[in-house]
Structure 1
């Protein structure tokens, strides 16, 4: 069975237990898919938001793909070396052929008043109902295989506030 799974992973381009600690590319972060046994790792590319500028539209649809306006979860590195990864929410703002583009969501109140973050209030992305912010200056690019969907959608008005900032400050259309 392990051999069959290895063939499937290889066909999908997924590598198991890959170590990125020696990767000189600082824009790539290691992440883990799924909270259970035998973690599969993928990469998160962290890029300046303006470098991925494109047309932006609100189109959540609970079909098989993550769409702009949906909130998805990724396994992201924690705060320090040796710390385990933790699951983080991001709002989807676009996609490429094989990847999803998203903006990180945080409930850390230190982001209040920071120009690189926008207040989105509370929502289903935070189980404790805390005030949240979205980081605007960095876009996360991750394989669709590297996300967890939970059926959470950011309300249209809040998405449009994010979209307006991306259009006005980061050359999105």
Structure 2
């Protein structure tokens, strides 16, 4: 499936500089072990699927100490490169597992803007990292084949219709997420899982 992601590479050495308050890296994996890394906010936001209308979806950070790391590194990878067994097994009393909805810090519009918390649905694990798909309430995704409608849920306090991005997987350390006891209904999760199996070689 074709991706809507534009690939850019910075040649001025700016990727060696650390953002003022946190470190984030974007990795685009095409065929292992080759990869591209770009730390520009614009490219990270684009890799996460955050358009202009998405920038106001997440809540602004507060004095919340539930995120133990400063601002965790987020890796964004093509979904097919992360193909694996997928199953529904949320467990609020154990580790984060597929079917749970958690929150991460996502880049904002510019370097002077604070990051915002964004919801993702967990679809797998990679050692101590969780793998998730971005949730968005932007209605522009309605006609985008890389997004799937999941309806409304407690991940959005305004009760808006939501979509999940299918062609990119986000990887973030488990200590860098926030859990709020939220799960996606199993029927909706299975719709996501079936698309991953049919279109991205998941099992």
TM range (shorter): 0.7 to 0.9
> Equivalent residue for 1:53?
83
> Equivalent residue for 2:37?
25
Distance 1:107 1:139 in 2: 18
Q: Could you tell me which runs of 5 or more consecutive residues in structure 2 were left unpaired when the two chains were aligned.
A: 1-19, 28-35, 46-60
> Equivalent residue for 1:149?
179
Pairwise CA RMSD: 2.6
Question: Following TM superposition, by how much is the alpha carbon of 1:102 offset from its aligned partner in structure 2, in angstroms?
Answer: 0.1
1:122 and 1:132 in contact (8 A); partners too: yes
2:24 and 2:74 in contact (8 A); partners too: no
Question: Following TM superposition, by how much is the alpha carbon of 1:20 offset from its aligned partner in structure 2, in angstroms?
Answer: 5.0
Question: Following TM superposition, by how much is the alpha carbon of 1:17 offset from its aligned partner in structure 2, in angstroms?
Answer: 4.1
Determine if the alignment matches structure 1 residue 115 to structure 2 residue 145.
yes
Question: Following TM superposition, by how much is the alpha carbon of 1:65 offset from its aligned partner in structure 2, in angstroms?
Answer: 1.3
Q: TM-score, normalised by structure 1?
A: 0.81
SS of residue in 2 equivalent to 1:163 = helix
1:52-101 Cα distance to aligned partner (Å, 9 max, x none): 10000000111231110000000100233432210000000000111000
More strand by share: 1
Structure 2 counterparts to residues 75-154 of structure 1, below 5 A? 75-154=105-184
Bigger shift: residues 135-144 or 75-84: 75-84
Count of residues in correspondence between the two structures: 154
> Equivalent residue for 1:163?
193
